[in-house]
Amino acid sequence: MNNYLNKTVKLIDLGKVDYKLAWDYQQELFNGIVELKIENRKHDNEQQQITPNYLLFCEHPHVFTLGKSGSEDHLLIDKQELESKNISYYKINRGGDITYHGPGQIVSYPVLDLDNFFTDIHKYLRLLEEAVIQTLKEYGLNPGRIPGLTGVWLDYEDLENARKICAFGVKSSRWVTMHGLALNVNTHMDYFDYIVPCGIEDKAVTSMEKELGRKQDLQEVKDLLKQNIASAFEMNILT
C-alpha cells in the first residue's frame, strides 16, 4: 500500500438531485477508488498512486430506500400509492432498513478510502455521528446515541420519548465507503408515516424545524456539518 495517507477530500455539492442519479454517481466514484486500489497492489510502493476521497452533499425529491438487511413489510403503502404521491422507491446496497429522503433534509455521502484515515468501520460511524451531534449542539439541542440503535437521537436518555433526528446507512468494501447520513432539518415529517423508519416501530422521528419551532437555514446547517465532519476526520477539504 502507498505509504502516503491522502487526507484531502474533494467536496461536491450536488444540490437537489434525483436519488438514482446520486447513487449512480457515488457508485462511479466508489468503483474508481476500488479499481485504483486493486491496480496499486500490482506495483511497488514508489509506483502506487494515491487514492482520492470525496464528500458529497445533496437533497433528494421524495424517496424511500430499503437497505439490504431491511424488510419490505416496513413499507406501509403499495406501488399505486407511491405513484400517486410521487414517491420513488429503491432497494439499495447499504446496511440498515427502510428510510425516507426528501426536501428539507441534508444528505451526505462520504466516498472515502479509509486506508487514508483508519481501517475501522465502527470508528467511522461513530465519527460521522459525532459530527452530527456537534452540529446539533450548536442549535441548543441535546443529541446523543442509544446503545444498540443506529443514528443520532434527541431525548436519548429517555427511551420512551427518544426521537431520531439523523439516520445512517453505509456500505464499505476494501475499506472504501459509500452511502452515509440523512439529517432532518426542514423535512416533511408526514412521509415517515408511510414506513416503519429504520425498522424501529416504537420510536419517533423528528426534525430541527419541529424541535426548534421554525424553519432553519439549510445552507447554514450544511456548512456547520461540513466543518464538523472535516474536524472529526482531520480532513483537508478541497472545494
Name the residues annotated as catalytic.
Answer: 198
- Cα separation of 16 and 22, whole Å? 10
C-alpha cell at 214: 421554525
Asked whether 74 and 89 are in contact (CB, 8 A), the reply is: no
Torsion of CA 186, 187, 193, 195, to 10 degrees: -150
- In angstroms, what CA-CA distances link 54 with 7, 167, 232? 10, 20, 15
> Rounded to an integer, what distance in angstroms lies between the CA atom of residue 199 and that of residue 142?
24
Q: What are phi and psi of 71, to 5 degrees?
A: -115, 130
For residues 191 and 61, give the distance between their C-alpha atoms in angstroms, rounded to a whole number: 12
DSSP state at residue 138: T
Write the CB contacts of 60 (distance below 8 Å, at least 6 apart in sequence): 16, 17, 18, 19, 22, 101, 102, 103, 105, 107
